[in-house]
Structure 1
Amino acid sequence: MSTKFKHEKSVENIFKDNFEEAAREKGYIYTSASLDGQDRLVGADYLFTNHASFSIVEFKYREGDLLSEVKKEKRLQLCKALHENTKIRPLHNKCHFAAWSDNKEEITIEANIYYNEVCNKEFWGDSFSHIESPTINTRQSENDFIDSFLVGKEGASFKVFNEYMQWLLNLGDETNTNGYLELLVSNPFNRRAAGVPFTSVEMMQKWVADNAKKLAQANTRRNGRSGPGGSGGRFG
């Protein structure tokens, strides 16, 4: 379907809503957090977790809009660092993704590992010529990605995710934040409250661990399910 305007924020919202709905249907606790202006630091717009697996996702309206990543200085630095760092790349592959919508009448969303989609010669020319074009065999539909994430086949454990995020946030002399990252999530215990703020991924995870039973009960009530809440990513 042809459109006159860019709808990146709508793609984010569709993905987020579908993720939340799938998590509730399958009985998983779910939290997401916009990274707001910090996307320039981490190369992603949103953080997603079912409290067992974690990921960050960069969103674009269309596949062609991914080329706008070349305008962001840290992205080339990220591509080069991932190419050279054989220890960090497997961590990246588990938890850092890009997603965009297709141009069909009924819009669907595709996802791929960020490095596999963005770090190649088609994007960067001679500045990054190690790979000719995007690695399309790791692309998957939004539904397949979400389903795989919820059962632990996509996304990273907190330990792996936190290691990657610390590396990412400290990448580059001019843009590193020494691991500082602000997150604001909805308060599941009081929907009238503005939210719950954190200044690191560790703080959010500690809050999740401290409130695991209450989070499970809150999700159970909203989902209309009965059953005890657990301390992992699933309840019921």
Structure 2
Amino acid sequence: MSQFKEISLNGLWKQNPGVVQLLGLCPTLAVTTSVVNGVSLGLATALVMACANGAVSPVRKFVPDEIRVPVFILVIAALVTMIDLTIHGFAEPLHKVLGIFIPLIVVNCIVLARVESFAAKNTPAPAIWDGLMMGLGLTMVLAILGGMRELVGKGTVFSGVDLALGPNFAPYVLHLVPDYHGFLLAILPPGAFIGLGCLIALRNWAEIRRSQSPNHSASTAAAKPAH
């Protein structure tokens, strides 16, 4: 259980792909114009990562080193195609919004990085959990960044939820700022860079505060071996 706890902590905080490893920046910056878009792409990526890790780990010893990367990409491409067709079949409006960024999961750095660095070296259960936690860590960043940009840019939260869940969910869009005329910069690419920079700075500030806390200092001192 300690291994799974460490994997969870790495995926959600210590090695978060969105604000620490800075992998997959293209979809992170392009899709996060709303919470719904960010969460939808993030969950699709998390599902692909968990399945890819789970598919690669059992056969890791049977794939020659010379062809392991093409084999990994082939597995990822097959999974992404399944996700793409599923979204297209059950949520076509959302599929139109996400567009090319669903197929681009195939070349998302974080997916291949986890398959290569973790799944290819560990047993299936930890590998699947690692892919899921890394994907959820990315989803968390996409959701927060999408919420920030949507709120500042449009004054709403959950706009477009009907695209993912159907027209019956249209009333659930929250208009938090009435008669808001919008702030265009927030939903343009520069707004994405600014928002992501704020999230990175906030995470680094929290980590510095945690490292300077008395409890952390005491636990660190206790963990050091005696000489």
TM-score by length of 2: 0.29
Instruction: Flag the structure with higher strand content.
Output: 1
Q: Quick check: which has more Rg, 1 or 2?
A: 2
> Could you say which structure has the greater relative contact order, defined with CA pairs below 8 angstroms and 6 or more residues apart?
2
TM-score by length of 1: 0.28
